[in-house]
């Protein structure tokens, strides 16, 4: 470090100071200009294009961290909330005809299998008590029961379909819909869920069948699955269209 005092001309100090001030003002102007430019970028699915690209890049980076061995922390049953928070009703209002409900499993286009709740309950039940996390920032320990999606894939011979990149799900009225990457769907804690706190799902929690996917924010835990399909391109996603991250992975 050069801590030795220097003797310089008065002019030198003046010029250097002026130059630094000009640089500083230019820097501030450049920052404001860049910020303004960013705000005027076109949008892609509700998000400014550079930021959308940033989200997609983050997905690519952090999907490398993803492992089926990384589990959402689980808790004792007594810690599960008796009253489970309900945050959204989109896709639930028009679908009260649950008596005739069947899951439409689209194996390929034109080959749709109709699966009843009884068919699903035949498979071994898995339970999970985990800290449900909402994209808004709140969290709640909740208790769910259902069938592992990976078990479901095995049972229905969907090994070819599970080689695709995404799973799409929609409510029976198709008003709420999500797309999820295959790795997250095949995670051992991902459930096609039909029980909450040991009882059948309440209507406002998506009776008769919903998704529980602890590696994602709540927005991806679609309630009342009407249709389930497989795709190589991103299926449409309700909150993605409104400017949120597609991946939403934790």
Partner 1 sequence: MKKIIQKHPLAIRWLHWINFPLLTIMIWSGILIYWANDVYKIGFGDKTLLKFFPDSFNKALNIPFRLAEGMNLHFFFMWFFTVNGVIYFLYLLFSKEYKLIFPNKDSLKEAWLVILHDLHIKKGLPPQKKYNAAQRIAYTGIIILGFLVIITGLAIYKPVQLYWLCNILGGYEWARIEHFIITILFVLFFLVHIIQVMIAGWNNFRGMLTGFEVVKDTEVIKKEEVINE
Return the closest-CA partner of residue 157 out of 113, 222, 126: 113
Indicate which single residue of 68, 139, 154, 204 sits in contact with partner 1 (rule: CB under 8 A).
139
The answer to whether residues 150 and 183 touch, using CB atoms and an 8 Å cutoff, is no
Residue 102 Cβ vs partner 1, minimum distance, rounded to whole Å = 32
C-alpha distance across the termini of the chain, in Å:
45
* Cβ atoms < 10 Å from Cβ of 15: 11
Distances (CA, A) of 88 to 92, 93, 119, 218, 239: 9, 10, 28, 10, 12
Residues within window 21-40 making contact with partner 1, judged by CB under 8 A: 21, 23-24, 27, 31, 35
Q: What gap in Å lies between CA 97 and CA 200, rounded to an integer?
A: 16
68 forms part of the interface with partner 1 (CB under 8 A): no
Indicate which single residue of 40, 42, 73, 110 sits in contact with partner 1 (rule: CB under 8 A).
73
Which token pair is 117?
């709740």
Indicate which single residue of 106, 117, 123, 134 sits in contact with partner 1 (rule: CB under 8 A).
134
Give start and end residues of each alpha helix (H) in 142-189: 149-155, 182-185
Residue 51 Cβ vs partner 1, minimum distance, rounded to whole Å = 4
Give start and end residues of each alpha helix (H) in 180-247: 182-185, 238-241
Indicate which single residue of 82, 110, 124, 137 sits in contact with partner 1 (rule: CB under 8 A).
137
241 forms part of the interface with partner 1 (CB under 8 A): no
Residues within window 113-132 making contact with partner 1, judged by CB under 8 A: 131
Residue 215 Cβ vs partner 1, minimum distance, rounded to whole Å = 5
Residue 116 Cβ vs partner 1, minimum distance, rounded to whole Å = 32
244 forms part of the interface with partner 1 (CB under 8 A): yes
Q: Is 199 helix (H, G, I), strand (E, B) or coil?
A: strand
The answer to whether residues 206 and 92 touch, using CB atoms and an 8 Å cutoff, is yes
Residues that bind partner 1 (CB under 8 A): 1-10, 12-13, 16-17, 19-21, 23-24, 27, 31, 35, 46-48, 50-52, 54-55, 58, 62, 65-67, 70-73, 131, 133-139, 214-215, 239, 242-245, 249-250
């Amino acid at each position: 470090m050069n801590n030795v005092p220097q003797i310089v001309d008065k002019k030198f100090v003046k010029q250097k100071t002026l130059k630094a001030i000009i640089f500083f003002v230019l820097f501030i102007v450049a920052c404001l200009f860049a910020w303004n430019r960013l705000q005027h970028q076109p949008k892609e699915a509700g998000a400014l294009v550079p930021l959308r690209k940033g989200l997609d890049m983050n997905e690519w980076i952090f999907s490398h961290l993803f492992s089926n061995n990384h589990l959402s922390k689980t808790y004792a049953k007594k810690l599960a909330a008796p009253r489970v928070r309900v945050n959204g009703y989109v896709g639930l209002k028009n679908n009260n005809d649950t008596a005739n409900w069947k899951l439409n499993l689209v194996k390929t286009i034109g080959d749709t299998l109709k699966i009843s709740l009884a068919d699903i309950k035949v498979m071994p039940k898995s339970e999970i008590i985990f800290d449900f996390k909402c994209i808004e920032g709140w969290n709640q320990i909740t208790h769910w029961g259902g069938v592992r999606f990976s078990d479901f894939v095995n049972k229905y011979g969907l090994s070819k379909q599970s080689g695709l990149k995404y799973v799409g799900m929609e409510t029976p009225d198709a008003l709420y819909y999500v797309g999820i990457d295959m790795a997250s769907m095949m995670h051992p804690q991902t459930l096609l869920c039909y029980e909450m706190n040991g009882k059948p799902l309440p209507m406002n929690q998506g009776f008769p069948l919903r998704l529980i996917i602890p590696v994602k924010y709540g927005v991806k835990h679609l309630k009342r699955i009407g249709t389930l399909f497989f795709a190589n391109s991103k299926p449409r996603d309700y909150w993605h269209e409104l400017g949120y991250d597609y991946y939403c992975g934790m």
